[in-house]
Amino acid sequence: MTESEKLMRTLEVFDEYERRFASARAARVLRRPWLEPDREDILRSVRSILGFREELIPRITIKGERITRCPGYTIRELTFTSWERFWGEMSLYTPDTANPEKLPLILVCPGHGADGRLYAGYQQMALNIVRSGASALLIENIGQGCRKDFGHWQSLGPLACGISLQGMILMETVAVIRRVCQSGVCDPRYIGACGNSGGGTLTTFLAALSPELGAVASTGYPSEFGYIFAKERGHCACNLLPGVLPKLEMWESLALMSPRPLYVSQGERDHLIPVEYFNRSMRKAAASYKLSGAPAGAFYAKALQTAHSWEEADRLAILAFFGRHFPMEPVTAEDPGGIRGPETVRADFPADALTTDECAANITGVQLPDKFGLEDIFSPAFGGKPLDPDTVCADLGRGSVTRVFAQMECALWDKPAWGLA
């Protein structure tokens, strides 16, 4: 084929995916999360697109502790394993009080970034929380920060094994929450979670999957899956959710939080997610809260004059939200004193620690091939037949075109299972 013919075929394939996206959206029935049968159906959809399996939820085992005393609070760096030989670390901030077991605890869920949980904005959120009289738990996301060598951005092993990277993140986080509930480190009636961007993804699903949470704040992500997956660019592996378009919309997962308090916000200056998608999705979530009979003030949604990453206004608004529902006294201004350089906190994991892909293979029993791509798991199609990659352009300036097509095929997946097994 000539380059002109390849370009024309590329346009035709994109056009067909656009029509398939529109058809998937049109075929979805409006569900009513305030009614129990629909709530159960939505929960099944959430579990399905994540490959979230109760029997795969790990057990958190604390392997080590490093303590740092600070003025008015203490930080404990907790090294742990979740699945066998799968290592991680989290930072527990507790106020210096005689009875920390009587205090609320709020999980701070990091998004993407080389510094992971030690990104200054996440540390600042933890400091705000502990200075407001509650404990904070900063969990290092799989493949981020001190766990970056295990793999995250291009970790397709979980999908090849019939689960997903986001599903692994959710299963591990749910295990941490359950461990917190049983450990006596806080008042289990007042456990919350907040997160932005990738942490907003995590909290969007925690709203549905973690009944232990008393309040959730999700920012920098709540919008529409249709918009997210129509982006013609390479997605991080944690954003790949098989079958999401025919099975689920974002507001449905968030609505399962009702009647528990939920805060959602989006930045007017966010370059990644237009605020119109946030407004449209949250209109439905707000209606669901009202129709479910949730108490006044349980649902709060607002577009702020902020960008994508958390700014002081975002963090203080989230803190005020938790202060309305938890027994704590939110600070009204930030003090950056206490933020540590990422190089000052280092985790030493054993040489035989598993990578993300190795862990996925270990817990599912799937033997992964030495080399594979997303196209091998979700084969792009055109005209009802497998797409020959040699008939389309390789790159239009935003990465591999066939990778983008495979992502779209993943979002449209309509079979009960996936993977290379």
What are the boundaries of each domain within the chain?
50-344
Q: What is the pLDDT of residue 139?
A: 95
Whole-angstrom distance, CA of residue 33 vs CA of residue 251: 10
Using DSSP, state whether 11 is helix, strand or coil: helix
Evaluate if residue 202 carries a pLDDT over 80.
Answer: yes
Evaluate if residue 98 carries a pLDDT over 80.
Answer: no
Across the chain, mean pLDDT equals 96
State the CATH architecture for 50-344. 3-Layer(aba) Sandwich (3.40)
> Which phi-psi region, left, alpha or beta, contains residue 180 (left: φ > 0; alpha: ψ -120 to 50)?
alpha
Q: What is the pLDDT of residue 38?
A: 98
**CA 78 and chain centroid, separation:** 21
Q: What is the pLDDT of residue 399?
A: 86
Evaluate if residue 168 carries a pLDDT over 90.
Answer: yes
0.95 cut: is pTM over it? yes
Note the pLDDT tens digit of each residue in 270-316: 999 999 999 999 999 999 999 999 999 999 999 999 999 999 999 99
Q: Which residues pair with 219 in a beta bridge?
A: 196, 265
Average pLDDT of span 33-59: 98
Q: Which residues pair with 218 in a beta bridge?
A: 195, 264
Note the pLDDT tens digit of each residue in 120-133: 999 999 999 999 99
| pLDDT band at residue 354 using 50, 70 and 90 as cut-offs | very high
Whole-angstrom distance, CA of residue 221 vs CA of residue 228: 9
State the DSSP string of 272-320. SS-HHHHHHHHHHHHHHHHHTTPPTTSEEEEEES--SS--HHHHHHHHH
Note the pLDDT tens digit of each residue in 5-45: 999 999 999 999 999 999 999 999 999 999 999 999 999 99
State the DSSP string of 154-169. T--HHHHTTS-HHHHH
Q: What is the pLDDT of residue 397?
A: 86
Evaluate if residue 157 carries a pLDDT over 90.
Answer: yes
Asked if 220 and 266 touch (Cβ cutoff 8 Å), the reply is: yes
| pLDDT band at residue 342 using 50, 70 and 90 as cut-offs | confident
